Structures are given as structure tokens and as C-alpha cells.
Amino acid sequence: MGSFDNKTYRNVFKEIGKTQEEIDAKIKEAVDTFFYDEKERIYHPAGDDMGYLVDTGNNDARTEGMSYGMMMCVQLDMKEEFDRIWKWAKTFMYMEDGDNEGYFAWSCQLDGTKNAYGPAPDGEEFFAMALFFASHRWGDGEGIYNYSKQAQDILRACLHKGENGRVGDPMWNRDNGQILFVPGSPYTDPSYHLPHFYELFALWAYEEDREFFKKAATVSRKYLVSACHPETGLNPEYGNFDGTPMDEKLPWGQFGDFFSDAYRTAANIGLDAEWFGVDEGQLGVPLKAMKFFGTDLEAVRCAYKVDGTPLERPVLHPVGLVSTIAQSALSVPYSEDPDSDFAVAAKWVNWFWNQPLRKGERRYYDNCLYLFALLALSGNYRIW
């Protein structure tokens, strides 16, 4: 039974001995830095009523970060910032015509000019979920602030593009129920599989779409079992529909290894364990990864094949990796036994607790994952 049923949320920081005062102070410091610190902020207000999150390594705004920012804001009860980010996304990223009508351009310059006219499905997933939560926490408004309708319309596009004369391709493979790396692609991204979101989409999407999302939740949980190595628990950035790494060399690189995108999978499994606790075999995956990396943080300094073979490639986002593995501790039941699985997970939570926000050019992705882990491990990443 998860939080959806019992309405309670674990505070893993308290479980490892931190006080509520320490936890509240740590969250406040991170939020202040992420949203408001003039030197280190990721969020920036724009004009009178808009704002964006900047990918500091690429100097652009991405649907990944924009939708992440909205999720953070609804969890933190920051309605002004939420509305600013959403208006910027809807104004500059939303596409009203062409094959990708109904989707959001995955990358824009900071003045709103589109860098690309293709979407990245993880953005649409997080936009929709954050909008549903905003509807339930703050109530629906008018126009683009009619949050629930905006969410339902996004999901309708994701499922029904290409049908009934609507041009383009859907973001889900309607035959196998898996989310795609991009619309029309013959492969997926394991870190895009969010069964805990799909359970809620199955309740709140347009009625005709609910059955699909209910099935998609089960499909994704089973997919994650096949995508994560049975011994190491590691998964590739891009995966074939059967769970094997998508090792084909693409024009923009090879993505069949455990690298940046792949880190999010363990965190997603942790949150799914917290919210729903439905186990198709995927809830045991994060502990395998924790044990693979062992007790030496130096093990997270390079990339790996999913079978654990180290590669001559340094980790680009070490703070993000530690953050996501720590968040996955939500999949490990609490125990006071010093020889228990929770004792293994607690080491990662302690490592994360002692890890500051990243500074410098590459801080965007790391600090997004850091803030999510901070919310999740303190019981503040909730279903609204």
C-alpha cells in the first residue's frame, strides 16, 4: 500500500536521525538558491508575468527543466512561480501547427526563439502531472490557467496524434503501451517510464484515455524489470522495447550505456514505491544498483555498461547520480537492523545529505535532481 491509499509519506531523513528543524532548513536553503540566488539560481523571472528555468550548460530553456520547475513549484506551494513558468512555456514552446501541433518544442533560446520544432516526451508527462496537481491544490482558472483541461489536452495529443485527420505521431506506442523517446521513434527511454504518473492519468485524463494509462502503468513497471540489469540494476539511456540497450549509433551519439538520462530511472522507481507500492519486480532494482556501487563514492565517477563494465568516460552529473540513488531509498522498507537492506540505503541518503548543491556551468541537471530528491526523501513530493 502506498501514499495514494494511506495518505502518509515517509520522511527518510528522519529515519536516519535528522531533526525536522534540520530538514526544513536544508530545504529552504536549496529552494532559495535554486529559485532566488542571483549567482546560482536556475529559475529566472521574465517580464511581469513569465519565467523560465535555464539549462546552464547549454544556455537554453528545455521542456525538461520547465516542467520540472512547475512540479517543484506545485509541491512547494509556489503558485506565482508556477504560473510564470507555465505562461512562458505556453507562449514560446507550445506548437499550434505542423506535425508537432499540440506538443512543446523541447529547446528554446532564452528570448523564446525555438531552437527545435520537435518535442521530448518527458516534458509533456511532467507538464500534465504538474498541471493536474495545480488544479487540485489551487483550483482551475481561466484560459491557460484552467490547469486540468490543459493537462487533459496535452495527454490527448500524446495518445491521439495521427488519428482522425490530426497530423503527427503519438508519444506512446499504442500497440505495446510504451512511451517513446520521441514521437514515432522505434525505441524508448527507460527514464521516461513513469508508472506512478500513469496511475493518476488513468483517473484524471479524458475518460476515453483512462483505460490506456491504467494499462501503461503495468506495462512500464514490467518494462523497467527488463530494462534494468538483473545483477547491477543499471539501465541504458535509450532502450529497445524488449528492454535491451539501444546500442545503435545515432547521428547525435550512442546511448546504450548507464549515463546521464539513465540516472533518473532509480529515482522514478523510488517515487512509484512511495506513491503506489505496486511491485511487478521493479521495486528491487534500486537496491541492486546501491550494492553494485558499494560503499565507495568513487564508483560513481565514471560511466558503465549496464552489466557493470566501467567505461573511459567520466560522469557528467555526479551530484545528480548520488541524488537519484538516494531518492530510490524510498523503495527499501525502513529497518533498525544494522545488517538490513535499509542500512545500505541509509548510506546513500547520508551521502546525499552531506552533498551540497552543485555550482558552476553544469549545475542545472544535477540541481534539478537534487531538489526532487530533497523533496521526496523529506516526505514533500506528494500526490495532490
H, E, C per residue of 200-259: HHHHHCCHHHHHHHHHHHHHHHHHHHHHCCCCCCCCCCCECCCCCECCCCECCECCCCEC
pLDDT of residue 299: 76
Catalytic residues: 64, 261
Cell of 354: 552531506
Tell me yes or no: is domain 1-41+232-383 CATH 1.50.10.10.
Answer: yes
pLDDT of residue 45: 98
- Give the mean pLDDT per block of 10 residues along the chain (384 residues): 96 98 98 97 98 98 98 98 98 97 98 97 98 98 98 98 97 97 97 98 98 98 98 98 95 94 98 98 98 84 94 94 98 97 97 97 98 98 98
CA distance 374 to 30: 9
pLDDT of residue 276: 98
pLDDT of residue 301: 85
Residue with cell 512500464: 220
Residue with cell 500526490: 383
CA distances for 340 relative to 54, 208, 346, angstroms: 41, 45, 10
pLDDT of residue 54: 98
Strand spans (E) along the chain: 43-46, 50-53, 61-62, 107-108, 302-304, 310-314
pLDDT of residue 100: 98
CA distance 272 to 109: 33
pLDDT of residue 319: 96
**Global pTM exceeds 0.85:** yes
